[in-house]
C-alpha cells in the first residue's frame, strides 16, 4: 500500500470533517448517530497536529491528530474501504520520533477492531474510564529502553 502522509491544506478540512462524521457513525453504532455533527471536526481538532493519508489516486484514506503537549493521539480515523491496508500503520509512522517515543490514546471498549490494531502496534492498556460515548481504555505505547 502506497500512501503519502502529509499535513492537510485548508481545502482538505471539509473532506476530513466528512470522514470524521462518516466513520464515527459507522463505528460507534451504540451511540445515537445524530449526536455526531459535521462541525465536530473543527471543534475537536483545535490546537492539534493533523496528518492526512493520501492514496496514489488522490483519495484521502484517513487521518490522525495529535495533542502534542501530552503526546496524546486524539484521533486515528480510516475510511472503511481502506482499513487493513496499512494506512493506520503509515499514519503512526508519521508521529515525531516514532517508535522511539512514548504516546498514549483512548480507545472505546466497544471498538474492538481499533483496540486490536493498537495492541498489535505495541500499545498496552494502562487505565480506563467513562466518556459520553461509553467506556474507554487508555492505551500507552512505551518503547523499550
Q: Of 50, 46, 45, 44, whose CA–CA distance to 62 is shortest?
A: 50
Confirm if 121 and 107 have CB atoms less than 8 A apart.
no
pLDDT tens per residue, range 7-47? 999 999 999 999 999 999 999 988 888 899 999 999 999 99
pLDDT tens per residue, range 70-125? 999 999 999 999 999 999 999 999 999 999 999 999 999 999 999 999 999 999 99
pTM higher than 0.85, yes or no? yes
Q: Is 68 helix (H, G, I), strand (E, B) or coil?
A: helix
Amino acid at each position: 500500500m502506497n500512501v503519502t502522509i502529509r499535513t492537510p491544506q485548508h481545502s482538505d478540512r471539509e473532506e476530513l470533517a466528512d470522514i470524521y462524521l462518516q466513520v464515527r457513525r459507522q463505528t460507534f453504532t451504540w451511540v445515537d448517530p445524530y449526536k455526531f455533527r459535521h462541525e465536530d471536526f473543527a471543534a475537536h481538532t483545535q490546537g492539534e497536529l493533523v496528518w492526512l493519508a493520501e492514496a496514489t489516486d488522490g483519495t484521502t484514506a484517513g487521518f490522525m491528530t495529535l495533542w502534542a503537549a501530552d503526546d496524546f493521539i486524539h484521533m486515528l480515523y480510516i475510511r472503511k474501504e481502506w482499513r487493513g491496508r496499512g494506512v493506520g500503520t503509515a499514519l503512526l509512522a508519521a508521529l515525531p520520533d516514532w517508535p522511539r517515543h512514548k504516546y498514549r490514546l483512548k480507545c472505546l471498549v466497544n471498538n474492538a477492531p481499533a483496540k486490536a490494531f493498537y495492541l498489535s502496534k505495541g500499545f498496552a492498556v494502562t487505565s480506563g474510564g467513562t466518556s459520553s460515548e461509553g467506556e474507554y481504555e487508555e492505551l500507552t505505547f512505551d518503547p523499550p529502553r
